[in-house]
Amino acid sequence: MLSAASEGIAADDALHPERRHEDIGELVTTFVEKSHYSHIIVNDDLSSRVMDHFLDELDHNRMYLLASDIDFFEKYRYRLDDIVRSEPLDPVFDMFSVYRTRVRERFAVALHYLESEPDLTVDEDYQFDREEVEWAKTTAELDELWRKRVKHDALNLALTDKPWDDSQEVLQKRYRQYLKRMDQIKNDDVFETFMNAFARTLDPHSSYLSPRNSEEYRIQMSLSYFGIGASLQTEDDYVQIVSIIPGGPASIDGSLAPKDRITGVAQGTDGVMTDVIGWRLDDVVDLIRGEADTVVRLQIIPAGALPGHNDKEISLTRGQVKLEEQAAKSQIITVPRDGRDWNIGVIEVPSFYRDYRALSNGDKNYTSTTKDVRRLISELEEQGIDGLVMDLRDNGGGHLTEATALSGLFIDNGPVVQLKNANGRINRLDDPNPVAHVAYNGPLAVLINRFSASASEIFAAAIQDYERGVIVGQETFGKGTVQNLYSLDQYLQPEGDDGYGQLTLTIGKYYRVTGESTQHRGVSPDINLPSPIDAELIGESVRDSALPWDTIPTSRFRAGEPLDRTIDSLTASHSERAKNDPNYQYLAQFVEDDRQTRAQKTISLNIDTRRKQREANMAKALQRENERRAALGLDAIASLEELNEDERPDVQLDQAAGIVTDLALMREVQRIPAQTVQVTP
Residues paired with 602 in a beta bridge: 127
Which is it for the CA torsion 450, 454, 457, 459, positive or negative? negative
Which of 619-643 are b and which e, b meaning 16 or more Cβ less than 10 Å from the residue's Cβ?
eeebeebeebbeeeeeeeeeeeeee
Residues paired with 439 in a beta bridge: none
* Cβ-contact 235, 530 below 8 angstroms: no
Per DSSP, helices labelled H in 510-606 are: 564-579, 582-598
Nearest of 659, 393, 412 to residue 523 by alpha carbon: 393
Nearest of 188, 185, 184 to residue 21 by alpha carbon: 188
Cβ neighbours of 245 (radius 10 Å): 21
- In angstroms, the CA 529 to CA 651 distance is 9
- In angstroms, the CA 125 to CA 123 distance is 7
- Give ∠ CA 58-63-66 in degrees, rounded to 5: 85
Residues paired with 525 in a beta bridge: none
Q: Can you point out the beta strands (E) in 11-88?
A: none
DSSP states of 161-203:
T--HHHHHHHHHHHHHHHHHHHHT--HHHHHHHHHHHHHHHH-
* Cβ-contact 394, 451 below 8 angstroms: yes
- In angstroms, the CA 539 to CA 519 distance is 10
Nearest of 261, 260, 257, 255 to residue 317 by alpha carbon: 255
User: From the DSSP assignment, how many helices (H) and strands (E) are in the chain?
Assistant: 20, 19
Q: Indicate which residues carry an active-site annotation.
A: 454, 465, 479
* Cβ-contact 357, 223 below 8 angstroms: no
Which element (helix H / strand E) includes 448?
strand 444-448
| Burial class for 609, CB neighbours closer than 10 Å (0-12, 13-18, 19+) | middle
